[in-house]
Structure 1
Amino acid sequence: MEEPSLKDLTGVGERTLKRLERAGIRSPRQLALMTASELASIADIGESHALAITEAARRELEGALRIGVMKAREHYEALLKQRKLTTGCSNLDSILDGGLEPAAITEFVGSFGSGKTQLMHQLCVTVQLPEGRGGLAGKALYLDTERGFSPKRLIHIASRFGLDEGVLDNVFSVNVVNSDHQVALLDEVERLVRSEGVRLVVVDSLTSLFRREYPGRDILAERQQRLNRY
Structure 2
Amino acid sequence: MDWDQLDMNPRVIAAIKKANLRSVKEILNLSGADLQRLTKLSCTDVQYLLRAVSGALRKNSGLTALQLFRDENHSTSQRRKLSLGCPVLDGLLRGGIPLTGITEIAGESSAGKTQIGLQLCLSVQYPFEHGGLECGAIYICTEDAFPHKRLQQLTERQSQLRGDIPRSVVQKIKFGNSIFVEHAADIETFYECIAKKVSILLSRGMVRLVVIDSIAALFRCEFAAKDSVLKAKYLQTIGAKLHRLSSTFRTPVVCMNQVTDTMGEGPSGDHSSPCSTGKSVVPALGITWSNQLLMRLMVNRTSHLVQPAEDAPHGSTLRTMRVIFAPHLPQSACCYTVNLEGVKGIRMETLTW
Q: What TM-score do you get using the length of structure 2 for normalisation?
A: 0.41
Higher strand share: 2
Aligned match of 1:116: 113
Assess, with a 3 A threshold, how the Cα gap between structure 1 residues 133 and 77 changes in structure 2: closer, same or farther.
closer
What is the distance in 2 between the residues matched to 1:129 and 1:116?
A: 21
Q: Does 1:207 align with 2:216?
A: yes
The unaligned stretches of length 5 or more in structure 2 are 1-67, 160-169, 239-353
Q: 1:62-94, CA deviations, whole angstroms, 9 ceiling, x for partnerless residues?
A: xxxxxxxxxxxx999699644211101222212
Which segment drifts farther, 149-158 or 174-183? Answer: 149-158
Q: What amino acid does structure 2 have at the position aligned with 1:120?
A: G
Partner of 1:172: 180
* In structure 2, C-alpha distance between the alignment counterparts of 1:200 and 1:98, rounded to whole Å: 16
How far has the Cα of 1:96 moved from its partner?
Answer: 1.4
Counterpart in 1 of 2:227? Answer: 219
Q: Is the 8 A contact 1:117 1:148 kept in 2?
A: no
Query: Mapping of 1:53-68 within 5 angstroms?
Result: none
Question: Cα–Cα, structure 1 residues 176 and 204, in superposed 2: closer, same or farther, change >3 Å?
Answer: same
Q: How does 1:32-181 map to 2 (within 5 A)?
A: 81-162=78-159, 166-181=174-189
Name the CA shift for 1:84/1:205 in 2 (closer, same or farther; >3 Å): same
Tell me if 1:192 matches 2:212: no
CA distance in 2, matches of 1:115, 1:148: 16
Q: Partners of 1:82 and 1:97 in 2: how far apart?
A: 10
Quote how far apart the aligned CAs of 1:132 are: 1.9
- Point out the structure with max Rg over C-alpha: 2
Helix, strand or coil for the counterpart of 1:213? coil
The residue that corresponds to 1:32 in the other structure is none
Q: TM (normalized to structure 1)?
A: 0.62
Residues 184/88 of structure 1: CA separation in 2 closer, same or farther (3 Å cut): same
**Aligned equivalents of 1:174 and 1:118: distance in 2?**
17
Q: Which letter maps to 2:154?
A: I
One-letter identity of the residue aligned with 1:100: I
Q: How many residues get paired?
A: 156
Structure 1 pair 228/130, CA: closer, same or farther in 2 (3 Å)? same
Name the SS of the counterpart of 1:149 in structure 2.
coil
Q: Is the 8 A contact 1:87 1:122 kept in 2?
A: yes
Equivalent residue, structure 2, for 1:182: 190
How far, CA to CA, are the matches of 2:92 and 2:115 in structure 1? 18
SS at match of 1:137: coil
Three-state SS of the structure 2 residue aligned to 1:173 is strand
